[in-house]
Amino acid sequence: METNFKEQHDFMNREISWLAFNQRIMDLAENPLIPLLERANFLKITQSNLDEWYMIRVATLIREVNSGATDPDKSGMAPNTQLNQVRKLVKKQLKRQSKIWLKLKKQFKEIGIEILNYSHLTNEEKKFVDNYFISTISPLIEVELLPKDIPWPEMENGKMYFIVDMVSRQDQQKHIFSHFKMPSLKRLLTLPQTPNRFILLDQIIKAHYQEIIQTKFKNRFIAQNIYHYRILKDMDIQNLPKGSKNTEQAVEVALERRTSAPMIFLALDKNAPRKTLKILTSVLSVNPLNTFHILGDWDYDFIKLIKPSLVETPHLKIANLCFTPHKAYHENILESNQIFTAIGQKDYLLHHPYDSYDAVVNFFQQAAIDPNVKEIYITIYRTSKNSPIVKALADAAKNGKHVGALIEVKARFDEEHNIQVADYLRGMGVKVYTSFPNLKIHGKMALVVKEIQGKKEKFAHLATGNYNDISAKGYTDFSFFTANTKYTDDIKRIFQFISGKKGLPEKLNKLYIAPNMLRNKLQKETKRLIKKAAKGEKVEIWMKCNSFSDSKLIKSLYKASMQGVKVHLLVRGLTTAIPHLSQISTDLHIHSVVGRLLEHSRVYIFKNNEKFKCYLSSADAMPRNFDRRIEILFPIEDKDLKQRIYKIFEKMWADRAQSYTKHANGKYTRRVANKNLSKYTPIQEQFLIDAEKHEKEKN
């Protein structure tokens, strides 16, 4: 049966799907079963998500519209149509964020945590705040008249600014505007003797803005009103500058250019009149269509400051306001100095953060000090500040080992940090590579080579997630350790390509890489199952990703779903695939799990009867991952390890407490009604409980 694909009807728009994902995170901020501080943190996440998405994805749409592009996407929407729809949905999300914060703020107050306006302070608190303003805030404020043209470098991306409407004392009919940036101070000020009472820095400034203007302009102007605003710029590094000697230098030039990038988003105090908005859009060269009015407290990054200030307030029982902490399971042998002996005997699979990430850190720390280790290779896409893995690599080089590290300096919003890591490791004697101008190296892999009496032994680590010990506590990922020479030889071959010694591999023993193998492999396995289904076998495809938008792979899955293959897609974020379309995707099903942990692992399973092939990967099913990145897909062949992954997937698919179902109209609904959520334990919570229980039983 040949399926007729009408692309304009058979795919959901990517950006609208992403906004639906951010809505699901907002649901967490409103979920009464989630502790209050955690709900506030989810609200903060929705803003940081929205910021990053707007600076990259919406920026791209704006550029397309400005260039006159009219070609529709796979959903049939032209750039201008997409942009108009996106703006409407963004306004709704910003409005919902404000409503959620007002509810959270009220609930904080009910338990004794107050975030106050200046007018609500006691006289003693006002005196404290006034003194703080005079001694600390005021000296840092630099007020300027709003010129006809503000040089781009003077406007910092994502920072809060204030605009003041003034009139001259000599001619009070003439309005003049001044502006200044929020000082770089802790935005949430704890009031004296009451660590559960706070005031925002912007509230202090608004209470004293007339003094600011009077002092700055020596009584020449009368300040009538003050409003706060915030801008976002186009932060996408589209094409690296030409003429640079290497990728690292090109990225550094591109980062400098970001300071003068066009402004594409303006959020303004809802109380500001139309005249103020008109002045700002003119001066900042922001399209009025890209402006948004926001009411009340916003820019929710200050939320992260609440918890640290409450530590000394025992009567509030901070533990009740946060998720219950759980202890991870520790694979002791992998955290000992016998780690290489253990890996040499069998393969190991860890599921983070349920299984401790300490084993991964130990892999590098032991390699650094083991006298028989001669070589270490690693790819780094994102890593933590003060990373113990980076330190171990430096120690290894110091100890005379050859260390080769690929640092992806194009990792979005980590470019500057990764350049610093590259400089540090280079200075410590590590051979640093910084990838290719047009390919990001996103695959997560490491190789340790030991030499004993002239004989080499290789040990590999492959992962779905980054070499980041901090995010590993909040992201779910798989780690795989092996000494199988077919895997280790493949990794060595990939590093030869990365280092420029050989070309892109066309064939490997066990691994499949993008940009030339990965999509084809997944499509080939899909076609294989279609043939199995035609023979009457029970066949299923299970895929788990962060995002799923590759139309070529989706078409293959659509076809499979119409020819006897049951397709399960577990996609945390956006997916342009649409389930249950008549004559298109009738047996394709999509779930999304969101919760206290960020689902980050990528799993691809192809099952016929009781046999199945299982692959883990660094790659989401997106065109960028398949065509513009070096990604790794690796098989798990050990029967027990495969079965473990499959059981994990099954349990996640069956979850009802924190999962959603996508429908043919593109909408997502909770699998159970809000009022029934308390009847179920979220699957992530269950995994955490099971890991802690497993650790206790071991001891």
Looking at the fold, whether 240 and 99 belong to one and the same domain comes out as: yes
The pLDDT-based confidence of 314 (bands split at 50, 70, 90) is low
**pLDDT per residue as tens digits for the range 597-631:** 999 999 999 999 989 999 999 999 999 999 999 99
Looking at the fold, whether 652 and 632 belong to one and the same domain comes out as: yes
**Statement: residue 237 has pLDDT above 90:** no
According to the model, what pLDDT value does residue 313 have? 62
For residue 458, being part of any structural domain is answered with yes
Do residues 373 and 448 touch, judged by C-beta distance below 8 A? yes
**pLDDT per residue as tens digits for the range 346-372:** 999 999 999 999 999 999 999 999 999
Q: Among 10-14, 146-150, 481-485, whose mean pLDDT is lowest?
A: 146-150
**pLDDT per residue as tens digits for the range 274-313:** 999 999 998 898 999 999 999 888 889 999 999 887 765 6
The pLDDT-based confidence of 148 (bands split at 50, 70, 90) is low
Of the listed 442, 461, 568, 591, which one is catalytic? 442
Do residues 177 and 163 touch, judged by C-beta distance below 8 A? yes
Residue 677 domain boundaries: 514-698
| Single-letter amino acid code for the residue at 286 | V
For residue 327, being part of any structural domain is answered with no
Q: Read off the pTM.
A: 0.94
According to the model, what pLDDT value does residue 315 have? 62
**Statement: residue 4 has pLDDT above 60:** no
Looking at the fold, whether 177 and 280 belong to one and the same domain comes out as: yes
Quote the mean pLDDT of the chain: 93
**pLDDT per residue as tens digits for the range 480-534:** 999 999 999 999 999 999 999 999 999 999 999 999 999 999 999 999 999 999 9
According to the model, what pLDDT value does residue 242 have? 58
Looking at the fold, whether 118 and 267 belong to one and the same domain comes out as: yes
Looking at the fold, whether 527 and 478 belong to one and the same domain comes out as: no
Looking at the fold, whether 88 and 237 belong to one and the same domain comes out as: yes
**pLDDT per residue as tens digits for the range 569-600:** 999 999 999 999 999 999 999 999 999 999 99
Instruction: Decide which of 485, 507, 529 is a domain's last residue.
Output: 507
Strands (E), 236-307: 263-269, 291-294
Looking at the fold, whether 221 and 132 belong to one and the same domain comes out as: yes
Looking at the fold, whether 231 and 253 belong to one and the same domain comes out as: yes
For residue 2, being part of any structural domain is answered with no
For residue 326, being part of any structural domain is answered with no
According to the model, what pLDDT value does residue 245 have? 59
Percent of residues, the chain, with pLDDT higher than 70: 96
According to the model, what pLDDT value does residue 309 have? 78
For residue 1, being part of any structural domain is answered with no
According to the model, what pLDDT value does residue 115 have? 95
The mean pLDDT value for 90-101 works out to: 97
> Token digits for 145?
């008249």
Give the three-state DSSP class for 600.
Answer: coil
Looking at the fold, whether 227 and 205 belong to one and the same domain comes out as: yes
Report the domain count for the chain. 3
Looking at the fold, whether 364 and 385 belong to one and the same domain comes out as: yes
**pLDDT per residue as tens digits for the range 102-114:** 999 999 999 989 9
Residue 155 sits in a domain whose CATH number is 3.30.1840.10
The mean pLDDT value for 643-663 works out to: 97
CA distances from 200 to 124, 133, 205, 300, 658 (A): 17, 12, 9, 11, 33
For residue 428, being part of any structural domain is answered with yes
For residue 70, being part of any structural domain is answered with yes
Percent of residues, the chain, with pLDDT higher than 90: 85
Instruction: Decide which of 459, 482, 507 is a domain's last residue.
Output: 507
According to the model, what pLDDT value does residue 252 have? 87
Active-site residue, 228 included: no
**Statement: residue 473 has pLDDT above 90:** yes
Looking at the fold, whether 365 and 405 belong to one and the same domain comes out as: yes
For residue 213, being part of any structural domain is answered with yes
Q: Token pair 């062949």 is at which residue?
A: 637
| Single-letter amino acid code for the residue at 474 | G
According to the model, what pLDDT value does residue 599 have? 98
Looking at the fold, whether 589 and 656 belong to one and the same domain comes out as: yes
Residue 538 sits in a domain whose CATH number is 3.30.870.10
